[in-house]
Structure 1
Amino acid sequence: MSRESAAPGRFFDILGGGGNVANIVLWKNKALSAGILIGVTIIWLLFEVVEFHFITLVCHFLTIMMIILLIWSKSSSLIQIRTPHRIDEFNLSESTCAFLFGNLSWLLIKFYDISSGNDFRLFLLTLVLLWILSVIGEYFSSPSLLYFVFLCLETLPAICVSFQGEVDYLAGKSTQDMKKLFQDFNSKVLDRIPRAPTKEKK
């Protein structure tokens, strides 16, 4: 197997190694994955089919949650049921905050690195992808687009791992085709751009 086709395989090996996100997207915990998919589908239906507005939906959700918590906290002493959680149990742990801000910091650094033009091919590829997304965004509403992205994130990894050999072959072939396309672009366009002569050092 070629070097280009080995990279997707390593990605799928890492993804299949474990972790909560891997268990969800690879459907190792089918009940949790199905529950998340059903929940996101209901939210999409509320926005797109029922045409709820975001603020209205959030206010209705918070109203229902407040009523449920009020009934639960007042009736827990009368009926022998489990008492609600204490307020201090809702604090985010330091590891969770470090994970979230670490990923945000990595994303910003990656964006700055690509924008600086150190890898010109990656810079052009990112511009093309952003342009494609902007065109797609004109024809689809934001909830539908986000729902489609979520469906891809939750279904495609499991399908790709199931058919890893075919995916590695196609990924390697497409990588080689992209490299050939960039080489043709460099030779026919970028290399023909006149450049100022370099000054000789004294």
Structure 2
Amino acid sequence: MGESVPPRRISVHQVLGGGHVADVLLWKKWSGGVLLLTSTASSWFLFERAGYNLLSFVANVLLLLVVILFLWAKSASLLNRPLPPLPDMEISEASVMKAADALHAWINRVLSIARDIAIGRNWKLFLQVAFCLWLVSYIGSFFNFLTLVYIGVVLSLSVPVVYDKYQGHIDEKLLVANRAIQTQYRKIDDSILKKIPLRSNKEKKVQ
């Protein structure tokens, strides 16, 4: 008997895009991960616990920034110092096209799913979408939007790392869970199909 070939390991870094975002989510760039986690935690504490208003906070930060830049520019002209090193505040056409392509693909994907459910009568896809929406609604009843964003950032910085480290064990558990879910889907499909009246062959021939 030949030896069983172990499943090929998936590169989580490549699945996440293989760029700076993947480096941050997998903690290959500690500074980016720490900055993202710290800023998210600070924002959550500031707006959720301290009761600070988001609109007032943004306005005050922008006001402080404008005052600093204005005073810096005035003092630089009086003291013959260099002006504030402001970057070129323009969005490139390539960035806009890239964002538009990503949005276009996402919208088409959503419309395709809606078409499969409404016209294709895909019961399996319908149950999956319904369950996901119900789960989001159920979780959203316990937390507000800002808390959900904070939880999402924490999960994004922890789940990919854990999966990358214990991919083999997690894949085994997911395979067992997937088989159980597929079995339940088949039972539901069979029960639904039994309730749908089917025309007999004689009726088809008469028509």
Shared topology, TM-score over 0.5? yes
Aligned ranges 1:1-202 → 2 under 5 Å: 10=10, 12=12, 14-15=14-15, 18-77=18-77, 78=79, 80=81, 83-85=84-86, 89-116=88-115, 117=117, 118=120, 119-187=122-190, 189-197=191-199, 199=204
Contact residue 12 and residue 161 of structure 1 kept, 8 A = yes
Would the alpha carbon gap of residues 19 and 85 (structure 1) be closer, same or farther in structure 2, given more than 3 Å must change? same
Would the alpha carbon gap of residues 201 and 19 (structure 1) be closer, same or farther in structure 2, given more than 3 Å must change? farther
Structure 2, gaps ≥5 residues long: none
User: Offset at 1:72?
Assistant: 3.2
User: Could you tell me how far apart the structure 1 residues matched to 2:165 and 2:138 are?
Assistant: 32
> Which protein is bigger by CA-based radius of gyration?
2
User: Could you tell me how far apart the structure 2 residues matched to 1:157 and 1:82 are?
Assistant: 43
Contact residue 72 and residue 84 of structure 1 kept, 8 A = no
Aligned length: 195
The percent of aligned pairs where both chains have the same amino acid is 22
Of 92-101 and 33-42, more deviation after overlay is shown by: 92-101
User: Offset at 1:197?
Assistant: 2.5
User: Could you tell me how far apart the structure 2 residues matched to 1:101 and 1:144 are?
Assistant: 28
Contact residue 44 and residue 147 of structure 1 kept, 8 A = yes
Contact residue 47 and residue 54 of structure 1 kept, 8 A = yes
Would the alpha carbon gap of residues 82 and 25 (structure 1) be closer, same or farther in structure 2, given more than 3 Å must change? farther
User: Offset at 1:82?
Assistant: 6.6
Q: CA RMSD in A?
A: 2.7
Structure 1, gaps ≥5 residues long: none
- Higher relative contact order, chain-length normalized (CA < 8 Å, sep 6+): 1
Contact residue 27 and residue 158 of structure 1 kept, 8 A = yes
Matched letter for residue 83 of structure 1: P
